[in-house]
Amino acid sequence: MIKRILAASVVGVMATGGPAIAQAITEAEVHDAQRVWGDGIVAIGQAYSDGGDYQALAAEHVDTLYGYDEGTVLFKPTRAAAEQFRLAEEEALSYFVGGVVDEDHGFALQPWTAVRFENAGIIIDADSAVAMGNYFFTDAATGEEAKVEFTFGYARGADGNLLITVHHSAFPYSPAE
């Protein structure tokens, strides 16, 4: 209990030189972060379809929503086989729009018209949160939803916004018939 109180109490030094009090992450913030993430995936695909600067949009998406600039990010994308993990920012960007990883064809370029999260649960700790469940991607061409399992870990960034520090997603297990 004391460890949790201390972790929540003194996190750093504010510009005034006094101790910074950690602002606990809320469930509403996790929901907002999920909405922003999904809207970003849709926007990247829309920009790609419209001939817009989808690469700049994707770079902003990864840079502002993932914690690569502040520390380690563990990212295991849905459609990754040969190179299962994207531990560097440029590898995450590659997954969404293609680039440095040969097997990446741009997940966000599908395009998708919607991303819907259904959380099985959210765990909130003094300075982090983890959400697990399914998210559903609506295919722009067919209108069908692709169901994907996810676990996202969040930490508060230096700017006060939530950053993704863990991203694991996979298609649901489908036993052979």
Domains assigned to the chain? 26-170 (3.10.450.50)
138 has which bridge partners? Answer: 114, 145
Q: Percent of the chain having pLDDT more than 90?
A: 84
Q: Is 135 helix (H, G, I), strand (E, B) or coil?
A: strand
- Span 63-118, pLDDT tens digits: 999 999 999 999 999 999 999 999 999 999 999 999 999 999 999 999 999 999 99
Q: Write the burial class of residue 146 (CB in 10 Å: 0-12 exposed, 13-18 middle, 19+ buried).
A: middle
The CA distances from residue 28 to 24, 31, 34, 124, in Å, are 11, 5, 10, 11
pLDDT category of residue 11 using cuts at 50, 70 and 90: very low
